[in-house]
A and B are shown apart, each in its own frame.
Chain A
Amino acid sequence: MSESQQHHQSPGSPPASGLGLALFWVYVLLYIGFMGLVLVRPDLLSLRPFFGVNLAIVYGMGLIAAAFVLAVAYMVLRSGR
């Protein structure tokens, strides 16, 4: 049975997967961590931990990369089920 058929058979609302929600909360923590730094400890964002690039840019790019990595992990793990 295809996934779409499975969904259409449900009379209520098809829930998002538990795996998806777990990965969602992982990302939310990363996002909140970034916002916390911006709001509470902006001085730390001026540190330059990565080849002279400051933490503001490293963390920002890291959030973009993390979204992609988690998305690929989700796709692979869901396909394997």
Chain B
Amino acid sequence: MLHETSIAAVTIFATFVLGVIGLSFFLGRKGQSASGYYAAHGQIHWFVNGIAFAGDYLSAASFLGICGMIAFSGYDGFLYSIGFLAGWVVALFVIAEPIKALGKFTFADALDSRFNSRGIKLSVAISTLVVSVFYLIPQMVGAGSLIKPLLGLPHEAGVILVGVTVTLIVVTAGMVSTTWVQFIKGSLLVFFCGVLTVLILGRGLAVNAGREGSENLTPQIRTVRPDGTVLVDGQPQSRDHDLRPVGTIIRLPERFAGQESTGPLGPLAYLATLEDSTIVTWATKKHADSEGVHTTYTPVERPGTELLKPGGFFKGLASGNLPDRLDFVSLMLALFCGTASLPHILIRYYTVKDAAAARKSTVVGIAVIGVFYVLTLYLGLGAMTSGALDPTDTNMAAPLLAKTFNETLFAIISAIAFTTVLGTVSGLIMAGSGAVAHDLVENVCGVRMTDHEKIRCGKLAAVGLGMVAMVLGILFRNFNVSFLVGWAFNIAASANLPALVMLLFWPRTTRQGIVAAVTVGMLASLTWILLSADTFEKVYGLSRDLALTPFSQPALITIPLGFLTLVVVSLLTPAPASLRR
């Protein structure tokens, strides 16, 4: 769909972005040592760090991706919310305090704390880079999605804008500015999602989204011709002739018979009423011929009961197909195990002073993130019934929902979504630059650097990562961001969790075992993803039937494989010196 640019939106957006950059330059004076650049001197207050955890974690996948998935597929998007939050339980109860005590700047520091092994530093640094890059892709895709309706610029412009802004943030002040950007973003995101939820409940549910006339139930066809021009129902796409927005209620429950709207509803009544309503969603079907690629959006009437139970996105839950069910279990396992294995989350434990502060900041993070995930359900369902969805873009549901209230709220929500991307991308680039400068250059290659040189090296690495992120954000533009983040969780959980857990709980763990587990977990999950049906279809453009793996999400196989590798290799190599004494 084509979107009009509003001056208010551009102004609010520019204010947010310039404010964030200004803050970074202001805070840049505080990050003059390596400890300041990489770990904010370990002096961040636990409460600020807790909100920053939320700012770091609640990425484009959480905000744009989950809202979009709920709006397009119903309850299944909420399964991502549940899985994402559950991962924090692992982080708090198992990982937080030990990782704080073991590390200094990076995740590799913690895994290598007992062994001082170049092999561990190398393998963990590479896994950190791979996970960070896979996590960067959806953030950049989200930025590209946002920029189209907000500023009327192409996807590529959004990706480049984020890449340049974030590189500036990280290069100016490292972890200090990154923390405050994440703190501000986390606070604003949860507050304004709360505001939006109150507005959704206040508006209640309405037939045809409260508009005059009945919802048009005729299909729409979008054609992309070989020369790149776009047709809508056979005519060239323009602002006057565009796809109609979709997603409305066509029938309210019996108790509202004769009414077009329910009026304000409480949080529970909203869900119960929606379940008793009939909603018009749409089915998407693609086919290609000599005239181009045609996508047909066909309206489908569905009862609320069907949309508010599992099975809308994860088709195997409804069909009982075994590989599809295993795919779902594997994803939920990856989400549960992945959070505590994400390098950009783990390095935040080094920004507080001690284990108690690490624990308290995690609890604050869980509270804020938990509230946000509850809100995502209302945002997604509100978008599903708002009559404002762009059927071509799952990632724009939340901003377009805000637009149904007013342009200002649309601008604020879009700007916050953009800062959401900024906050998460800065954390990822920090983790990646630490892996390059501290782990690879200094510890693996043995390059001795002064404090000033360490910072310069980290900044150069940040610039390089920013450029890689921009290229990938353009290449993966057509993916749902939650889906892409699922890959990052799979790789993180497979590569990092077995080594981390066994290091903490099995004294017989050897350095060779850790290197092998990280390497095998990372390569196995990466290979699995590259050979999966989802990748064949969505990346290579080939048939799903050609895929070489039985299901797409690897964690169910590759996490146990990581544990098994570590145990076998550790048992085959000499026990650590501490056990031989």
**Known contacts A24-B94, A27-B86; is-contact A57 B75 (Cβ 8 Å):** yes
Decide if B308 touches A11 in the complex (CB within 8 Å).
Answer: no
**Chain A binder among B24-32, B200-208, B360-368:** B360-368
Decide if A74 touches B359 in the complex (CB within 8 Å).
Answer: yes
B473 CB to closest chain A CB (Å) equals 30
Interface centre among B95, B101, B276 (most CB of A within 10 A): B101
Decide if A13 touches B356 in the complex (CB within 8 Å).
Answer: no
What is the interface size of chain B, counting residues whose CB is below 8 A from a CB of the partner? 58
**Known contacts A31-B336, A71-B362, A74-B363; is-contact A16 B310 (Cβ 8 Å):** no
A17 CB to closest chain B CB (Å) equals 7
B75 CB to closest chain A CB (Å) equals 6
**Known contacts A53-B272, A75-B360; is-contact A64 B373 (Cβ 8 Å):** yes
Chain A residue, CB-CB nearest to B311:
A42
Q: List 7 A-B contacts (CB under 8 A).
A: A4-B355, A16-B95, A53-B268, A60-B79, A61-B377, A64-B370, A68-B367
Interface positions of A (Cβ within 8 A of B):
2-4, 7-8, 10-17, 20-21, 23-24, 27, 31, 34-35, 38-39, 42, 45-46, 48, 50-54, 56-57, 60-61, 63-65, 67-68, 70-72, 74-75, 78-79
**Known contacts A38-B317, A50-B268; is-contact A23 B93 (Cβ 8 Å):** yes
Complex-state Cα separation, A10 to B100, whole angstroms: 13
Complex-state Cα separation, A39 to B113, whole angstroms: 41
Decide if A35 touches B101 in the complex (CB within 8 Å).
Answer: no
Chain B residue, CB-CB nearest to A78:
B359
Decide if B86 touches A7 in the complex (CB within 8 Å).
Answer: no
Out of B309, B318, B374, which one reaches A56, CB within 8 Å?
B309
Neighbouring B residues of A27 by C-beta, 8 Å: 86, 89, 93
Decide if B94 touches A65 in the complex (CB within 8 Å).
Answer: no
Out of A3, A35, A74, which one reaches B329, CB within 8 Å?
A35
A interface: dominant SS = helix
A80 CB to closest chain B CB (Å) equals 12
Neighbouring B residues of A17 by C-beta, 8 Å: 97
Neighbouring A residues of B81 by C-beta, 8 Å: 60, 64
6 A-B pairs closest in CB distance: A52-B272, A7-B101, A4-B354, A20-B93, A24-B93, A51-B268
Decide if A51 touches B98 in the complex (CB within 8 Å).
Answer: no
Chain B residue, CB-CB nearest to A61:
B374
B341 CB to closest chain A CB (Å) equals 15
Neighbouring B residues of A53 by C-beta, 8 Å: 268, 271-272, 275
Interface membership of B524, Cβ < 8 A: no
Complex-state Cα separation, A16 to B578, whole angstroms: 19
Interface centre among B81, B113, B309, B325 (most CB of A within 10 A): B309
Neighbouring A residues of B275 by C-beta, 8 Å: 48, 52-54
Q: How many A-B contacts at CB < 8 Å in the complex?
A: 157
A23 CB to closest chain B CB (Å) equals 5
**Chain A binder among B5-13, B118-126, B179-187, B503-511:** B503-511
Decide if A39 touches B97 in the complex (CB within 8 Å).
Answer: no
Interface membership of B90, Cβ < 8 A: yes
Complex-state Cα separation, A10 to B98, whole angstroms: 11
Neighbouring B residues of A54 by C-beta, 8 Å: 271, 275, 305, 308-309
Decide if B310 touches A63 in the complex (CB within 8 Å).
Answer: no
Neighbouring B residues of A15 by C-beta, 8 Å: 98, 504-505
Interface membership of B92, Cβ < 8 A: yes
Complex-state Cα separation, A40 to B307, whole angstroms: 19
Decide if B272 touches A12 in the complex (CB within 8 Å).
Answer: no
**Known contacts A39-B317, A71-B367; is-contact A46 B88 (Cβ 8 Å):** no
Complex-state Cα separation, A13 to B373, whole angstroms: 33
Beyond A51-B268, A71-B89, 20 extra complex contacts between A and B, CB < 8 Å:
A4-B101, A4-B355, A13-B98, A13-B114, A14-B355, A23-B89, A23-B93, A35-B329, A38-B79, A42-B317, A53-B272, A54-B271, A54-B275, A54-B308, A54-B309, A56-B309, A64-B373, A68-B367, A70-B89, A74-B363
Q: Which of B251-283 contact A (CB under 8 A)?
A: 268-269, 271-272, 275-276
**Known contacts A15-B504, A15-B505, A24-B94; is-contact A71 B102 (Cβ 8 Å):** no
Decide if B504 touches A3 in the complex (CB within 8 Å).
Answer: no
Decide if A35 touches B332 in the complex (CB within 8 Å).
Answer: yes
Decide if A45 touches B309 in the complex (CB within 8 Å).
Answer: yes
Out of B95, B98, B268, B310, which one reaches A42, CB within 8 Å?
B310
A4 CB to closest chain B CB (Å) equals 3
Chain A residue, CB-CB nearest to B500:
A13
Complex-state Cα separation, A61 to B268, whole angstroms: 12
A49 CB to closest chain B CB (Å) equals 11
B328 CB to closest chain A CB (Å) equals 8
Decide if B114 touches A12 in the complex (CB within 8 Å).
Answer: yes
Neighbouring B residues of A65 by C-beta, 8 Å: 370
Contact bitstring B287-329, A, C-beta under 8 A = 1, else 0: 0000000000000000001001111000001100000010011
Decide if A57 touches B308 in the complex (CB within 8 Å).
Answer: yes
Neighbouring B residues of A4 by C-beta, 8 Å: 100-101, 353-356
Chain A residue, CB-CB nearest to B366:
A71
Interface centre among A10, A27, A38, A78 (most CB of B within 10 A): A38
Neighbouring A residues of B101 by C-beta, 8 Å: 4, 7-8, 10, 14
Decide if B310 touches A45 in the complex (CB within 8 Å).
Answer: yes
Out of B272, B367, B373, which one reaches A51, CB within 8 Å?
B272
Out of A3, A56, A78, which one reaches B308, CB within 8 Å?
A56
Interface centre among B114, B305, B366 (most CB of A within 10 A): B366
Neighbouring A residues of B209 by C-beta, 8 Å: none
Neighbouring B residues of A52 by C-beta, 8 Å: 268-269, 271-272, 275-276
Chain B residue, CB-CB nearest to A43:
B309
Out of B98, B272, B325, which one reaches A14, CB within 8 Å?
B98
Decide if B93 touches A74 in the complex (CB within 8 Å).
Answer: yes
**Known contacts A7-B101, A16-B504; is-contact A75 B86 (Cβ 8 Å):** no
